């Protein structure tokens, strides 16, 4: 009796958006996991405060998103 197996890659063609959007520290290149704080600037723009745990450098990012209407 012969057996066959299919080998699949674990590499995805489109990484998860949350995983790929996480910033790295511009000073020491350490990866950042969670923002220290966030605030709505407008109805569709959020600002995030990031502080590096390794070197202490802080910076702000902004994210604009589209609202989705559910039917």
Residue 56 in any domain: the answer is yes
Owner of token pair 């959020």: 46
Beta-ladder partners of 38: 48
Residue 6 in any domain: the answer is no
Residue 9 in any domain: the answer is no
What are the backbone dihedrals phi and psi of residue 43, each rounded to the nearest 5 degrees, phi first? Answer: -65, -25
**What domain count does the chain have?**
1
Range of the domain at 30: 22-64
Residue 71 to residue 64: CA distance in whole angstroms: 23
Residue 37 in any domain: the answer is yes
pTM over 0.85: no
**pLDDT tens-digit map of 8-51:** 444 545 555 555 567 889 899 998 888 999 999 888 899 999 99
Contacts of 26 (CB under 8 A, 6+ apart): 57, 59
């Amino acid at each position: 009796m012969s057996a066959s197996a299919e080998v699949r890659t674990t590499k995805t063609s489109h990484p998860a958006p949350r995983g790929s959007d996480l910033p790295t520290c511009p000073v020491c290149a350490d990866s950042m996991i969670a923002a220290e704080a966030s605030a709505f600037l407008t109805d569709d723009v959020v600002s995030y405060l990031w502080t590096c745990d390794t070197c202490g450098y802080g910076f702000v990012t902004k994210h604009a998103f589209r609202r989705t209407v559910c039917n």
